[in-house]
Structure 1
Amino acid sequence: MTQGIKPSSISFSRALLASAMMLITLLVVNYFVLFKEVNPIKPLAEFPTRIGSWSGKVDHFEQRIYDILGVDDAFLCDYRLPDGGQIQLYIGYYMSQRQGDMIHSPKHCMPGAGWDITKTSIEPLSVPGTNPARKHIIRLILEKDGKKQVALYWFQSRGRIISSEYWEKVYLVWDAIIKHRTDGSFVRLISPIIEDEAETTRDMTQFAKELFPILDQFLPGSEAS
């Protein structure tokens, strides 16, 4: 009988790989490559507060949160449907990424805020008229003090929709070397689960489909001046 690899060994290997990838990323973007800062196509302050049937109210984090995130531009808005559905949208944009000013993953931030991640999955989306039309985004189920939330997020950087923290770092290093660019953005949706997890996810993925064409008007693609 062949013995399987122990979970602890797998976890250690993944942690070691992630640490090595982060070290390589920091070395490349801080010391070995000259790169340009890229402005958003339009300031995120101009982002629409009405998306389809959703109406939004702009909100803000405390300044210390923005300082920790290291963003160059950001947008936070609470959107609602007439029937009471609600989604919080956050977009963080980085003109360039260096040590201390790099995109933060919710997989690290949410547990620090007391939220347990109980499920993780990749959600496929088809959004005709955008590039690429077929996209994949990350879904988390979060729980804290008996309350549950669905979070959908992705990294939208230099023309790519990325649904992996690992590949986000790989592409960051690649584009820093090849394109001399490290600009990027992080897009996150959060909605409370009132009754049904699947229904909440459906509402959020539909919102995301309407969101993508608008994001293309603000976030630089594969070619940037």
Structure 2
Amino acid sequence: MSPKHTAIIVILLISAAGLTTLFSHSERIKPNRPFSQFPLELGPWLGVSSQMDEKVYNILGVEDYIMANFSKGPGQAVNIYVGFYQSQSKGDLIHSPKNCMPGAGWNIVQSSVIPIDLPKSGKTIKIARLLLNKDGQKQVVYYWFHSRGRIISSEYMQKIWLVLDSITKNRTDGSFVRLIAPVIKNETETEVLLTQFADEVYPTLNQFIPN
């Protein structure tokens, strides 16, 4: 289904049901497992979890999350953040890095959607990629919306599917997955590292995020 056709369907459904009604009675879904049980050993990767600032936690409005730094050797580190929203019906919408990163002083140099292969899961998914720069330091960000059985790389389509699923599934829960790695040598090597970690962590994500 093309974005144009999806948008038309959403407009028709909203006109029939009313946006307030759509979001007022959504079922509150819980993670399959609490993220406090997220493993800190994934194949060759070893992780150290961390806690976000309480003020940031309240602003984000997440019900559960994991934030950790994983490494499999010198110069091979990836930061992961997964935020789970039980309901997005009362203004607690998933925040996009395109809004948050500039607020933290990072300039978005490049923004694109790319496919990555996940051999361990036997699939290829499309994710959003950002190249960031701050005072000469570069980072590559991979992120996607892991919501209600879908992998979504577009903020626009995330909002459309949120409305559709609130109607057809009575659900507005959702998760956001973000991977960040600093550029040590070049962007290509950093992307290879991020893709390797994504391949390792993806099966574990499905143990926590409900379909």
TM-score range, shorter chain: 0.7 to 0.9
* TM-score normalised by L of structure 2: 0.88
Q: Which structure 1 residue ranges, 4+ long, deviate > 3 Å from structure 2? A: 30-33, 128-131
The equivalent of 1:85 in structure 2 is 76
SS of equivalent to 1:217: helix
The equivalent of 1:104 in structure 2 is 95
Cα distance per residue 1:45-68 (max 9 Å; x no partner): 101111121110011110110100
Q: Report the AA paired with residue 125 of structure 1.
A: I
Residue 129 of structure 1: how far off its partner (Å): 6.4
The equivalent of 2:26 in structure 1 is 35
2:44 matched to 1:56?
no
The equivalent of 1:137 in structure 2 is 127
**CA distance in 2: counterparts of 1:136 and 1:45, whole angstroms:** 27
Instruction: Mark the CA change 1:55 to 1:71 in structure 2 (over 3 Å): closer, same or farther.
Output: same
How many residues of Structure 1 are paired with residues of Structure 2 in the alignment?
196
Matches within 5 A, 1:155-194: 155-194=145-184
Q: Report the AA paired with residue 160 of structure 1.
A: R
Residue 130 of structure 1: how far off its partner (Å): 4.1
The equivalent of 1:121 in structure 2 is 112
Q: Report the AA paired with residue 165 of structure 1.
A: E
Q: Report the AA paired with residue 194 of structure 2.
A: M
Matches within 5 A, 1:63-74: 63-74=54-65
The equivalent of 1:196 in structure 2 is 186
**CA distance in 1: counterparts of 2:45 and 2:163, whole angstroms:** 37
Residue 127 of structure 1: how far off its partner (Å): 2.6
Identity across matched positions, percent = 47
Cα distance per residue 1:125-144 (max 9 Å; x no partner): 2335648x221011100001
**TM-align CA RMSD:** 1.8
SS of equivalent to 1:114: coil
Given the alignment, which residue of 138, 146, 151 partners 1:148? 138
2:85 matched to 1:94?
yes
Gaps of 5+ in 1: 1-16
Gaps of 5+ in 2: 1-6
SS of equivalent to 2:208: coil
